[in-house]
Amino acid sequence: MQYNFVYGDAEELLKYQSAYLGDNSNVGNLVYALPHVNGIKPVGIELQTTSEPYEVSINCLGFGFDENLSGPYFKNAAVIFSLIDNVGIVNYHIQGNESIKSFQFTRLEIEEYFQQDVRKYAKSPDEFKGFLQEVLDYCI
């Protein structure tokens, strides 16, 4: 399966930076602004903000996805964790022809990979642009 991720303008994505997951509109706009695997499109989001860890679930629809290919979703989760301060878990649920595949990422998992708190990257457009390049270049 092909996926050619290109993150848009860093300043454009930074518009969705927030301290809180609870802004459904903001989170939805961020999710739809992120690149997606060819043929896989987000069709809705669900927020769990009643107790920690706070979660966002991104529901997608598409066909022909590789059930073992979590890399693109890891990349987008890293960006979400960098921009939304209190999100603790990002879930992707992809509805295919006859099955649903889910990927779950925790803040701890992402920050262990980058060896630091990824929220620091969203402090300036230049830092965030560098982070986006790092996500593209080095993520699994």
Q: Tell me which of 3.40.1310, 3.90.25, 3.30.300, 1.10.287 is the CATH number of domain 10-138.
A: 3.30.300
> Can you give the residue ranges of every domain in the chain?
10-138
Percent share of the chain, pLDDT over 70:
91
2 dihedral zone (left: phi>0; alpha: psi -120 to 50; beta): beta
Strand order through the sheet with 54-62? 40-48, 54-62, 87-95, 100-106
Give tens-digit pLDDT for 6-32.
Answer: 888 899 999 999 999 998 999 999 999
Give tens-digit pLDDT for 34-57.
Answer: 998 877 899 999 999 999 999 999
Residue 2 has pLDDT above 60, yes or no: no
DSSP state of 119: G
Nearest-angstrom CA–CA distance, 46 and 48: 7
Give tens-digit pLDDT for 58-88.
Answer: 999 987 666 668 889 999 999 999 999 999 9
Residue 1 has pLDDT above 50, yes or no: no
Closest CA to 107 of 55, 33, 48, 36: 55
